[in-house]
Amino acid sequence: MSSSNPLAQWLATAKDKTLTLIGSGTGSSTATNISDADASRFLAQASMGANRGEMARVQSLGYAGWIDAQTALPQTQSRWDWLVAKGFNATNYRNNENGFDAANWCKLLSAPDTLRQRIALALSEILVVGIDGLSGGWRAFAAAHYLDILENNAFGNYRKLLEDVTLSPAMGEWLTYKGNVKANPASGALPDENYAREIMQLFTIGLVQLNLDGTPKLVGGAQQYAYRQTDVMGLARVWTGWDWDFAGGTAATPDFQGRPMRQISARCETGQKVFLGTTIPAGTDGKTSMKIALDALFNHPNVAPFITRQLIQRLVTSNPSPAYVARVASIFNNDGKGIRGNLQAVVKAILLDYEARNTVNNASSFGKLREPMLRFANWARAYNAISVSGGWAVGNTSDPGTRLGQSPLRSPTVFNFFRPGYVPPNTAMGSAGLMAPEFQITNASSVVGYVNFMQRVVSNGIGDVRGDYSALLPLARNAQALLNEINLVLAAGQITAANLAAMAGAVNGMSANSDAALNRRVQAALLMVLASPEYIVQK
């Protein structure tokens, strides 16, 4: 883009402002009426993206009513079935990932159950599997089945989710306990400890003992470990004997990637297993041992604050107050009907909490950087993007220099794209002790790559995925009206008047003397909002 171009000049200044905005408060709301801005802001937290139709539904049903309506929606075609319907179960696809990204983007960008999709995506960043780490056959199906598990359990119980994830072929391969065998006294070989460690560290209890509000428990001023190496060794004995279930068949079809792993008793450790104060007696079979272990982990007091805090981070704010965490963790422990781990109740508590809905006196620490893949999804949802062919050929968006620097289920490690406790070094946020997880994948390359990618997407679509700007074109001659509308839908009206005026100046510097010119004005306005710091930082 030429520096003499008004749009280019505006974009050149926008990226420098983004890093400072996370510490400012913004917005307003009323107690009884849901404004357009309030509805848009709610959907930024609760969906894959706002649009006028969804905003109207929020205003009609209310926040709680909208959540109830969303959780009642039936699930659309599974990713697995989408792959089969498109013919990706043909033998020539056995050793590649073809079809996976399309199956996933189809759901994220177009499925009506937008809340379920948002929660499944959030769970995929807590209970992490990365498709690029799956070396077995039918990787697209393995990854698709894993995401289907997360979606199926998004409003279910965390205990069942843990078991379904544990038995999934993808997780078994990703964390290397597929084919894990009992100890061999002759050789000194011990069971693989990978899953035993990560199910504690990342999926249930974390590294340190926690209070209900997510703060570390202190003894003599010091934090206390949640588990020790002896617990890892004891729990590793549980994850032995598990392997793919070919059900009398072979790997010639992907079916085994869609079945829970099976227990092979000859490989299972049947000796006593001791961990976290739990003892599984010698002679206990593998399936029973697994259930006892998962029950013990699920009922650990750390689970509620550890998991709910991360869900709050994925949906609402990077730095939830201890009180916010405690309120939601209490719902995890008891949903009001004596049920522990009810994710539907947890999600509702997160989104309806005072700190999520209050927009008047937000603390300076409130807010989060929108993940790049969510920014892209926001655009697609806002302007009803469709794939004419039904192929949804968005592809892998992981390249930070040319795409988003992030793509669903393509985390390079089990620690997700970014750590929940990441603190940007040498920044005002770091000095203030604020966490900003998404900033771990934010750098000069990814900032420029995102803007360039979205410029292409806004103008030309991606593959045959195109947005519909018909509602914006009538506003194209009035730059301020055009920007006000985009600001409202995408950024919940949070872009400052000064920034909107600068954007309007850039749009007014463009021709309006033809339909093509008007379309370019719409595209420019969209790109500037998508690149604005007030949009990129979700408040």
Mean pLDDT across the chain, nearest whole number?
93
Minimal CA–CA distance to 110: which of 346, 335, 380? Answer: 380
Q: How far apart are CA 104 and CA 239, in angstroms?
A: 29
The DSSP code sequence of 359-403 is: -SS--TT--EEPPHHHHHHHHHHHTT-EETTS--TT-----TTTS
* pTM of the predicted protein model: 0.93
Look at residue 24 and tell me whether its pLDDT is greater than 60.
Answer: no
Assign 13 a pLDDT band (cuts: 50, 70, 90).
low
Assign 400 a pLDDT band (cuts: 50, 70, 90).
very high
Minimal CA–CA distance to 446: which of 531, 503, 361, 527? Answer: 531
- Between 40-44, 64-68, 411-415, 428-432, the lowest mean confidence (pLDDT) is in 428-432
Look at residue 102 and tell me whether its pLDDT is greater than 90.
Answer: yes
Amino acid at 109: L
pLDDT, one tens digit per residue, over 490-510 is: 999 999 999 999 999 999 999
Q: Give the Cα-Cα-Cα angle 164, 304, 166 (nearest 5 degrees).
A: 15
Residues 249-271, mean pLDDT to the nearest whole number? 94
Residues 167-190, mean pLDDT to the nearest whole number? 96
pLDDT at 365 (0 to 100): 85
Look at residue 25 and tell me whether its pLDDT is greater than 90.
Answer: no
- Between 35-39, 187-191, 520-524, the lowest mean confidence (pLDDT) is in 187-191
Look at residue 112 and tell me whether its pLDDT is greater than 80.
Answer: yes
Query: Residue 254 has which token pair?
Result: 């992907």
Residues 451-468, mean pLDDT to the nearest whole number? 97
Look at residue 7 and tell me whether its pLDDT is greater than 70.
Answer: no
* HEC sequence for 160-184: HHHHHHHCCHHHHHHCCCCCCCCCE
pLDDT at 250 (0 to 100): 82
Q: 417-436 burial string, b = 16+ CB within 10 Å, else e?
A: bbebebbbeeeebeeeebbb
Look at residue 21 and tell me whether its pLDDT is greater than 60.
Answer: no
Residues 1-20, mean pLDDT to the nearest whole number? 49
pLDDT at 29 (0 to 100): 36
Residues 26-52, mean pLDDT to the nearest whole number? 82
Look at residue 417 and tell me whether its pLDDT is greater than 60.
Answer: yes
